[in-house]
Amino acid sequence: MRGEREPSGTEYGMAAILTYSSVYFMSWMLTQNPGEKWVVLIAYPVYYIGALYPAFLLASRAKHAHLLIGLKSAVYGWAFSGFSLWVLSGTTSLIFLALLLLFMLLGGFTGSYISLKRQLRHETLVALEESTNIPETDE
């Protein structure tokens, strides 16, 4: 992605795969530690962070439409994760998919918000630096 354009389909696909890695990791943890409550408790925060990071990476490269990019990244990640879990496990609970979508949307929103805030802070600092630069005059 260069300049002002939106991320490409390939970039969204790579973000979806990165998001799926957190889902796959937690699925593996749940199968390796059946009945462990601590694994179940950390699963959804891991899904949230798994959606936050790719959304932040995509949105931080854009100059505009941060929220749309973050939410699109989250939905693509959710669709890829849901499809992959359905193919690998044969069955996936609709309640799980709804909760996964909720946490991924929250992660996508947060990642895009952090990216927008970071960009605005950078632009403000640059504008402040330019406004306070007073050329030196030789007297």
pLDDT of residue 138: 63
Cα(94)–Cα(74) distance, integer angstroms: 17
- Considering all CA atoms of the chain, what is the largest pairwise distance in Å, rounded to the nearest integer? 81
Hey, where are the domains in the chain?
Answer: 9-132
Taking the C-alpha atoms of residue 71 and residue 115, their distance in angstroms, rounded to an integer, is: 13
Alpha carbon dihedral 36, 37, 39, 41, in 10-degree steps, equals 170
Q: Is the pLDDT of residue 103 over 90?
A: yes
Local confidence band at 1 (pLDDT 50, 70, 90 cut-offs) = very low
**pTM of the shown model:** 0.80
Cα separation, 105 vs 51, whole angstroms: 8
Which of the four pLDDT bands, split at 50, 70 and 90, describes residue 131? confident
